[in-house]
Amino acid sequence: MRIYAICLIKNEVDVIADCLRHALQFCDRIFILDNGSTDGTWEIVNSLASHHEQIVVEGQITETFRDGMRSIVYNNHHQELSDQDWWLRLDADEFLVGDPRPVLEQANREHADFVAAWQLQFYYTDADFKNWEAEKESIDSPITDRRRFYSINWREYRFFRNQRNSLWDEGAAPQWPNGLARVCSVRVFNRHYSYRTPDQIKGKLKSLLGHAQFKHVGSGDWRSKILPSKGLQYYQDGVPPTLHRLNYYRKRLRMARISLCGRVKRILHRFS
């Protein structure tokens, strides 16, 4: 069983090297598609690729972002794999917890097409901000060492099965290849570091605001992304993440209620 990863990146200079080095532990190939980075990310990726044959630089494109861009890599390489092999959707700010192969082997036994991940959302907290103000934080250490407070409030597909004899028709299925349906009964854990430093948060909000796909980012004020550490879970190396299912479903219901209220308000405003 082999694992190929698709990593679609843009301006992730502070985290891309750590992400790729982590993924090298379990990926047979990591294909990089750069969407017009201008901050040094492209140079870092090429340097790593020159030292690790598993990292394959697929190229650069300068189109408006869309999930279906990943189909470019898939369609170029899916015939190298069998139908028992897997693709990882690898975002540049994410780190899987542990070796995913046992879960993928279970997925093969179940004839599943997807493996979902519990997403550990790591936050920039008041404790982090306090350390930053006191200049107690070194940006040279990995982000996985610097950000420790998280909450599991989301789950989504992270692995999908290869289909050797079928192309990914982006028009029919923009997020995933066509014809995939069954989800594995076992999930992996995935660490997500969306907000990392004040400068990175400012840049991220600036690039996402006004983009219809990222309405969830909310305010453009970077300080709005500082959360209280109290009430969040603390990540410890070597200790499996704790999933409090009741808390998880409470959060999901609360988020769904907020989203529904927002939609109702927009509809009412439209007709007022």
Task: Give Dmax over CA atoms of the chain in angstroms.
Answer: 61
Residue 33 belongs to a domain: yes
Residue 228 belongs to a domain: yes
Q: What is the pLDDT of residues 118-160, one digit of tens each?
A: 999 999 999 999 988 877 777 778 999 999 999 998 999 999 9
State the Cα–Cα distance between residues 238 and 128, nearest whole angstrom.
22
Residue 270 belongs to a domain: no
User: How many domains is the chain partitioned into structurally?
Assistant: 1
Residue 262 belongs to a domain: no
Residue 225 belongs to a domain: yes
Q: Helix, strand or coil for residue 23?
A: helix
Residue 265 belongs to a domain: no
Q: Using CB atoms within 10 A of its CB, is residue 35 exposed (0-12), middle (13-18) or buried (19+)?
A: middle
**CATH classification of the domain holding 74:** 3.90.550
What's this model's pTM, rounded to 2 decimal places?
0.86
Side-chain half-sphere exposure of 130, counting CA atoms within 13 A: 6
**Helix boundaries (H) for the chain:** 16-23, 41-51, 70-77, 101-109, 126-133, 143-146, 198-208, 245-271
Residue 103 belongs to a domain: yes
Q: Could you give the C-alpha distances from 268 to 109, 216, 257, 271, in angstroms and in order?
A: 50, 20, 16, 5
State the Cα–Cα distance between residues 258 and 204, nearest whole angstrom.
23
Q: What is the pLDDT of residues 62-110, one digit of tens each?
A: 888 888 899 999 999 999 999 999 999 999 999 999 999 999 999 999 9
Residue 258 belongs to a domain: no
Q: Which domain range does residue 43 map to? A: 3-241
